[in-house]
Structure 1
């Protein structure tokens, strides 16, 4: 054990004692049973959708218990720091409604970025070193690589422990010599674990778990030659969770194997252990097997995908809550969003994120929204991702509302062809003259191979006899009359009976008109479309053929 004089010489003289921080961050005054949860992302780019999943659980548990939900940025790994991450996090929190009660500049237990809490960590590193629970290690990168190679060659477990931990019990004179020579060092935790020991703990989702105890003397303070001296995640999270008075840690399954180490750190620091709940990762079906959703391979893994596509946040929240607690997937959306989550109902296997299922939920949700609300949601999205569309929608708001009313307002089965705001242009763009490109080629394949001269005749004939009638049987009668006048069969059935007697059926005439008016072989009711775009635009499109 090193002398206190030597230990203290490694730290700033003005460094506060642990009691200072205990007073600075006192226990919270909260109702009995209230939970303080935290979401702690690393600033390495857009959040993973699994992070939104976890943050939503944190928020739900805290709020339904009358507690506090905070966000702490874990940026001790400066090599992976993305300077744009803060704005991306803010966009994600805002979009998904998972902004914290505390975080950033809000709250009395900050700073909420670990890179701004360096003095706090140094206090507790010094305290562990004073007690002989941590020590300086001068192992170089090359020595570490050689150690790992020897461990592999001899079949030893990898790590820095036992006989491999050459600086664990180094003489103080040797330590002083290295310090005097200016050798860089890290600080390692002196693990109380031993080989072969098993430890048990209770996970709030998985129940009792037994694992090998931690034997490694892990690094808790990074190299002294770095300009910003920061701890590792393992150490920082223990200090922060205690001082921020977190009562429940909900985090990803990948941290499950670290629990024995984390419990050792809490014990060594004199902090009470905090319950953990480890959430299974979101999965993706990949052929005949499942794998973890990956930001490198799967666009839908990144929160940016949902924002850029304009996927309705309520639908995503509903879907994620159903993955967390299956009973919520059986409830109507408003009820499911308001019902508390239960950790006891989480599965231990990773739930499958299925975009087809999510799209179905989105379609159902959007179909319940009034046209004005859809437009008010599309506009902010379009401002960021389709400015030309945004300009058109603002200039043609009444037309947009008429378009959105087609087969939706008053319909028993409202249209469900709009699932995300990025689909507004392809689904509804044909309503707007500024966006729609008239079909000018009578040989266009969308006409189904009908003779181009006949296509021209149908277009001009429809325009010449067009009457802006109310949508319904009377409106369609003009299509029927045109079809009969041009010698088309009154039905597909009649055409199939004697195809040589007709140039086609009434369905072919309808298809030509549909393509001319909408640019597509599939569209909403043509009468309603014509009523929405108005007679002048109907005639312009019908007469556009060259």
Structure 2
């Protein structure tokens, strides 16, 4: 996001409605505060913290509504002349709104997300200016948003109960009331199965830096946020696959009024889908950027073999349904490490599946190298040779094995799995033929012979 208004740093700002530091807007707030005093809508309050605490205890004792209002707003009864004398004498004071509201009357305010909400009128004489001369949030909100031509106020729904106060302030100042949209907090299911608010203190995923460190593309995060923000976004995206977020028309009516549930698995699904549609060059460049910051060893390897690395990322990419192995940039290394000799060394942990007898495995690999492996074969011929190898060693093609499983050692899939694991250590890889073509004839033979020995 490129901000075009506000503070650039501690001393500089940009925009047409400055100054943007609250301390530099003191005279502006004072001007509007004086206007309210002159209109009989604000007054100085000299109550101490002790006075207010005693009043609160009294209200609790008699089970009265808490707050500074009505008969409890004792300083609103002080004549303005006497108040002026106390200020000249150096008495500490704050400035309060002289509310004209009636708590027993109801008002209706339309929220763009929550709809029409009914509240009691505000009758609290809220603080406008604190004793340090700076405004409270309520007063600054009214003055700043009016002067800065704010049309829509979008904030968390913890502020929704303040709407009667803000309506009253805007009316008292003769300002146009802006439109409000109150978002419910993003929720999550914790380890106890309890639904709670996503917490900046408890939950690392509440910080933007978390996704950066994980290597989740920022575009994927944006897409996920849009699915949370507007319930119709996913359908729109499916119907408009060539369009981007900027083409989508956001609708407050499609925002969940009760708060959406944070779904990390859904985010990862969006992330891997997004990465799967990048070009090999884009994956390479994004991974370079990520590894330069978080994995300098892998970064240097990628830098050493740019074309080779891009070809690895291109396996099963340029097709109607591209493979989706890469969930985020931090996991790509775990998916492709075996393609680099720098990592394919030492004591490797080979994870064989159905065929796991070392003697049988060695026999399969030896026979394959001696009789059936030809580097220049196309993929169809290559697989036919794998089937011939399987049949020669007592295995069957897939169809025949399903019909008569007890008559064979296994199927051609088991033979392919042995070759795959011997070359990569794992049975979970993309297209084996493409892997072997990229490794090259010499390295294929070297890896298979190494295992045989």
**TM-score interval w.r.t. the shorter chain?**
0.7 to 0.9
Higher alpha-carbon deviation: 237-246 or 120-129? 120-129
> CA 1:524/1:113 → structure 2, altered by over 3 Å: closer, same or farther?
farther
For residues 56-95 of structure 1, the aligned pairs below 5 Å read 93=1
User: CA 1:377–1:445 in 2, change beyond 3 Å: closer, same or farther?
Assistant: closer
Cα contact 2:154–2:180 (8 A) shared by 1: yes
The equivalent residue for 2:310 is 401
Return the alpha-carbon distance in structure 2 between the equivalents of residues 266 and 164 of structure 1: 24
Secondary structure, aligned partner of 1:249: strand
Q: Distance in 1 between matches of 2:77 and 2:423?
A: 84
**Partner of residue 468, structure 1:** 375
Deviates more, 1:411-420 or 1:447-456: 447-456
Q: Which runs of 5+ in 1 are unaligned?
A: 1-92, 94-98
**CA–CA separation in structure 1 for the residues paired with 2:23 and 2:369:** 70
Residues 267-310 of structure 1 show CA distances to partners (whole Å, capped at 9, x for unaligned) of 23332222222234333356877543333444333322332223
What is the distance in 1 between the residues matched to 2:162 and 2:59? 22
Aligned residue number for residue 10 of structure 2 = none
Per-residue CA deviations over 1:160-187 (Å, capped at 9, x if unaligned) read 223433434346657856885x765443
State the 1:487 CA deviation: 5.1
Partner of 1:389: 298
CA-based RMSD: 3.4
Mark the runs of 5 or more structure 2 residues left unpaired by the alignment: 8-12
> Whole-Å Cα distance in 1 between the matches of residues 268 and 388 of structure 2?
40
171-180 vs 428-437, which moves further:
171-180
Quote the Cα distance in structure 2 between the aligned partners of 1:494 and 1:203. Answer: 66
Q: Which residue of the partner structure matches residue 418 of structure 2?
A: 512
CA distance in 2, matches of 1:128, 1:197: 23
Give the aligned partner of residue 4 of structure 2. 101
Partner of 2:97: 189
Structure 1 residue 416 and structure 2 residue 321: aligned?
A: no
* Residue of structure 2 equivalent to 1:241: 145
Tell me, in whole angstroms, the C-alpha distance in 1 between the residues paired with 2:313 and 2:269. Answer: 19
The answer as to 2:175 corresponding to 1:271 is yes
Larger radius of gyration: 2
Task: Tell me which of the two structures has the higher relative contact order, counting C-alpha pairs closer than 8 angstroms and 6 or more residues apart.
Answer: 1
User: Does 1:214 pair with 2:122?
Assistant: yes
CA distance in 2, matches of 1:313, 1:368: 15
Q: Please name the residue that 1:295 is paired with.
A: 200
- Aligned residues of 1:321 and 1:336 also touching (Cα < 8 A): no
Cα deviation, residue 530, structure 1: 1.4
CA distance in 1: counterparts of 2:92 and 2:439, whole angstroms: 74
Shifted more, 341-350 versus 526-535: the winner is 341-350
The residue matched to 1:473 in structure 2 has which SS? helix
- Looking at structure 1, the residues matched to 169 and 324 of structure 2 have their Cα atoms a distance apart, in angstroms, of 54
Distance 2:71 2:129 in 1: 22
Q: Aligned equivalents of 1:439 and 1:490: distance in 2? A: 33
Equivalents in 1 of 2:69, 2:345: separation in Å? 71
Identify which range, 282-291 or 208-217, moves more after superposition.
282-291
- Return the offset for 1:489: 5.6
Partner of 2:166 in structure 1? Answer: 262
Q: Report SS of the residue matched to 1:111.
A: coil
Q: Which residue matches 2:235? A: 330
Q: What residue number does 1:316 align with?
A: 221
C-alpha distance 214-431 of structure 1, shift in aligned 2 (>3 A): farther
- What SS is found at the alignment partner of 2:75? coil
Select which of 347, 353, 357 maps to 2:262: 353
Tell me if the contact between 1:516 and 1:541 (Cα under 8 Å) persists in the aligned partners: yes
Secondary structure in 2 matching 1:326: coil
Matches of 2:344 and 2:72, distance apart in 1: 72
Contact between 1:439 and 1:544, CA under 8 Å: does it hold in 2? no
- Pick one of 287, 296, 300 that aligns with 1:378: 287
SS in 1 for 2:96: strand
Measured in 1, the distance between the counterparts of 2:91 and 2:407 equals 96
Is 1:154 the counterpart of 2:154? The answer is no
* CA displacement at 1:261 relative to structure 2: 0.6
Offset at residue 528 of structure 1 (A): 0.5
- Whether contact under 8 Å (1:280, 1:350) holds in the other structure is yes
Asked if the contact 1:203/1:209 (under 8 Å) is kept, the reply is yes
Q: Quote how far apart the aligned CAs of 1:199 are.
A: 1.6
- 1:373 to partner: Cα distance: 1.8
Partner of 1:30: none
2:210 maps to: 305
CA spacing shift, 1:112–1:340, aligned 2, 3 Å: farther
Structure 2 residue aligned with 1:531: 437
